[in-house]
């Protein structure tokens, strides 16, 4: 082979190698892009981080708000906590709570499930079972039976109401201040074939549209913490309950370990108030007194989070990786214009509150499950 031929052979083989290399990179590139697309599809459409998916990431929105209103409503919500005087205007609170649930309901359903509360961890049980057991305990404490009519004050999208109706056979009437939650709850009730037992209305639990002495039982799960004055919601529940009947509530309170002079404790509690639309968290020793003041006999008054119960906040800690994945998914959907502007900020607020709630649990200064079992005396006073 002379030099010229050698040059031709080298050139053509290097061109071939170049083309072959290019093809390989093309195939690898396509495979990687396909993999990324599949992973995103999985994260957005298939994997509902919640155990019982109610929502897909592609469907995340701002509740009853239009897409254009989400960012502005979030800014308004955040400002509320920057000017503490506003939160002191107690009349503002129900509107603030309604806005909050427009902003978070879809994210809660997508990332947590249809029950918007915590539960004590139970070794060997799934989150779904732990949630159900915590809800069924309410039905058992109320001694509910088929034919009873029970009030769920602050019902969310109805996870607890469905568990309680299915467990006891009782009729449940749920009240929530947020009309988007009403629509979601009714839809879930129908899908679960429990709409003959479960009914939902939009209203303020401080002024409910029911005559006095209507219900055979009443409960509230992690909801009355939103009331500007606990006395007002307890008094209203007392009014609508039949004499001799029971009210069970799981309350968000500070525990005996909370010290108002400790700046770290104060910072944690402010963080929780801001991230959860709370007008001010009450202390464990106030709630029983308030129940007594409105006329209830208090039969049980104890923190369900105390040992031997296992920590309720482990579910928040275990989800750390999932939060980052969720953040990526939400940021991408918002960038693509699929999710509304402002939703990334809402998600960041929830991420921050998850850290504060975990700190509240680990330091032992906060519980979301202080149990009160109350009875309206048989001869109503």
Ligand X SMILES: C=C(CC[C@@H](C)[C@H]1CC[C@H]2C3=CC[C@H]4[C@H](C)[C@@H](O)CC[C@]4(C)[C@H]3CC[C@]12C)C(C)C
Ligand Y SMILES: C[S@@+](CC[C@H](N)C(=O)[O-])C[C@H]1O[C@@H](n2cnc3c(N)ncnc32)[C@H](O)[C@@H]1O
Listed in sequence order, the residues at least 6 apart from 303 whose beta carbon sits closer than 8 Å to its beta carbon are 255, 284, 367, 369, 370, 371
> 124 or 209, CB closer to ligand Y?
209
Task: Give the three-class secondary structure for 113.
Answer: coil
Q: Which does 210 bind (CB under 5 to 8 A by kind): ligand Y, ligand X, none?
A: none
To the nearest whole angstrom, how small is the minimum distance from the Cβ of residue 130 to ligand Y? 13
| Sign of the four-CA dihedral 55, 59, 60, 64 | negative
Query: How far is it, in rounded angstroms, from Cα 93 to Cα 347?
Result: 21
Q: Which residue has 């305990």 as its token pair? A: 137
> 226 or 370, CB closer to ligand Y?
226
Contact at 8 Å (CB) between 144 and 173?
A: no
Contact at 8 Å (CB) between 151 and 139?
A: no
User: Per CB under 6 A, does 81 bind ligand X?
Assistant: no
Map the footprint of ligand X across residues 213-242, applying CB under 6 A.
222, 225
Nearest to 142 by CA among 374, 298, 302, 369: 374
Query: How far is it, in rounded angstroms, from Cα 91 to Cα 143?
Result: 35
Query: How far is it, in rounded angstroms, from Cα 267 to Cα 286?
Result: 21
| Count of residues in contact with ligand Y, rule CB under 6 A | 23
Q: Which helix (H) or strand (E) holds 271?
A: helix 263-275
User: Per CB under 6 A, does 112 bind ligand X?
Assistant: yes
Q: What 8-state DSSP symbol labels residue 121?
A: B
User: Per CB under 6 A, does 353 bind ligand X?
Assistant: yes
Choose the binding region for ligand X from 105-113, 228-236, 240-248, 285-293 (rule: CB under 6 A). Answer: 105-113
User: Per CB under 6 A, does 326 bind ligand X?
Assistant: yes
Choose the binding region for ligand Y from 63-71, 120-128, 153-161, 237-245 (rule: CB under 6 A). Answer: 153-161
User: Per CB under 6 A, does 226 bind ligand Y?
Assistant: yes
> 117 or 186, CB closer to ligand X?
117
Q: Which residue has 């482990």 as its token pair? A: 314
CB atoms within 10 A of CB 38: 11
Query: How far is it, in rounded angstroms, from Cα 176 to Cα 157?
Result: 9
User: Per CB under 6 A, does 178 bind ligand Y?
Assistant: yes
To the nearest whole angstrom, how small is the minimum distance from the Cβ of residue 129 to ligand X? 17
Map the footprint of ligand Y across residues 242-281, applying CB under 6 A.
none
> 30 or 126, CB closer to ligand Y?
126
Nearest to 369 by CA among 234, 177, 220, 157: 220
User: Per CB under 6 A, does 253 bind ligand X?
Assistant: no
Give 249-305 as a DSSP string: EEEEEE-TT--TT-HHHHHHHHHHHHHTT-S-PEEHHHHHHHHHHTT-EEEEEEETT
Binding-site string for ligand Y from residue 111 to residue 150, where x marks contact by CB under 6 A and - marks none: ----xxx---------------------------------
> 224 or 334, CB closer to ligand Y?
224
Choose the binding region for ligand X from 108-116, 188-196, 297-305, 359-367 (rule: CB under 6 A). Answer: 108-116
Query: How far is it, in rounded angstroms, from Cα 283 to Cα 255?
Result: 6
Q: Which does 281 bind (CB under 5 to 8 A by kind): ligand X, ligand Y, none?
A: none
Map the footprint of ligand X across residues 14-53, applying CB under 6 A.
none
State both tokens at 312. Answer: 């309720």
User: Per CB under 6 A, does 276 bind ligand X?
Assistant: yes
Choose the binding region for ligand X from 75-83, 209-217, 239-247, 346-354 (rule: CB under 6 A). Answer: 346-354
Q: Which helix (H) or strand (E) holds 6?
A: helix 3-41
Choose the binding region for ligand X from 14-22, 25-33, 106-114, 333-341 (rule: CB under 6 A). Answer: 106-114
User: Per CB under 6 A, does 351 bind ligand X?
Assistant: yes
Query: How far is it, in rounded angstroms, from Cα 363 to Cα 23?
Result: 58
State both tokens at 183. Answer: 């629509």
Query: How far is it, in rounded angstroms, from Cα 309 to Cα 286?
Result: 23
Binding-site string for ligand X from residue 306 to residue 325, where x marks contact by CB under 6 A and - marks none: -------------x---x--
Residue ranges that bind ligand X, judged by CB under 6 A: 107-108, 111-112, 116-117, 222, 225, 276, 319, 323, 326, 347, 350-351, 353-354
Residue ranges that bind ligand Y, judged by CB under 6 A: 94, 97, 101, 115-117, 154-156, 159-160, 175-178, 181, 204-206, 221-223, 226
């Amino acid at each position: 082979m002379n030099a010229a031929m050698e040059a031709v052979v080298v050139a053509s083989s290097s061109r071939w190698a170049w083309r072959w290399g290019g093809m390989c990179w093309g195939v690898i590139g396509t495979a990687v892009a396909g993999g990324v697309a599949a992973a995103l599809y999985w994260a957005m459409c298939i994997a509902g981080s919640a155990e019982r998916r109610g929502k897909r990431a592609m469907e995340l929105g701002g509740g009853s708000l239009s897409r254009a209103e989400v960012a502005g409503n979030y800014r308004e919500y955040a400002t509320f906590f920057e000017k503490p005087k506003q939160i002191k205007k107690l009349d503002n609170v129900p509107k603030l709570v309604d806005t909050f649930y427009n902003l978070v309901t879809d994210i809660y359903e997508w990332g947590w499930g249809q029950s918007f509360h915590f539960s004590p961890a139970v070794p060997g049980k799934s989150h779904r079972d732990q949630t159900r057991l915590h809800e069924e305990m309410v039905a058992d404490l109320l001694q509910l039976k088929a034919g009873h009519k029970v009030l769920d004050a602050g019902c969310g999208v109805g996870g607890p109401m469905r568990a309680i109706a299915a467990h006891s056979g009782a009729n449940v009437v749920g009240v929530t201040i947020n009309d988007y939650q009403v629509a979601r709850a009714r839809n879930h009730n129908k899908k679960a074939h429990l709409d003959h037992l479960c009914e939902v209305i939009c209203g303020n639990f401080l002024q409910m549209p029911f005559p006095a002495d209507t219900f055979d039982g009443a409960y509230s799960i992690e909801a009355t913490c939103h009331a500007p004055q606990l006395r007002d919601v307890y008094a209203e529940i007392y009014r609508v309950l039949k004499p001799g009947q029971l009210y069970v509530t799981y309350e968000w309170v500070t525990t005996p370990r909370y010290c108002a002079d400790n700046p770290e404790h104060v910072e944690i509690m402010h963080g929780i108030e801001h991230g959860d639309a709370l007008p001010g968290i009450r202390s464990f020793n106030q709630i029983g007194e308030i129940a007594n003041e409105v006329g209830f006999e208090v039969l049980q008054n104890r923190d369900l989070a105390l040992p031997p119960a296992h920590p309720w906040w482990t579910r928040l800690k275990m989800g750390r990786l999932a939060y980052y994945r969720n953040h990526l998914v939400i940021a991408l959907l918002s960038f693509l214009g699929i999710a509304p502007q402002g939703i990334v900020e809402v998600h960041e607020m929830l991420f921050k509150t998850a850290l504060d709630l975990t700190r509240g649990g680990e330091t032992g200064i906060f519980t979301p499950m202080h149990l009160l079992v109350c009875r309206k005396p048989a001869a109503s006073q």
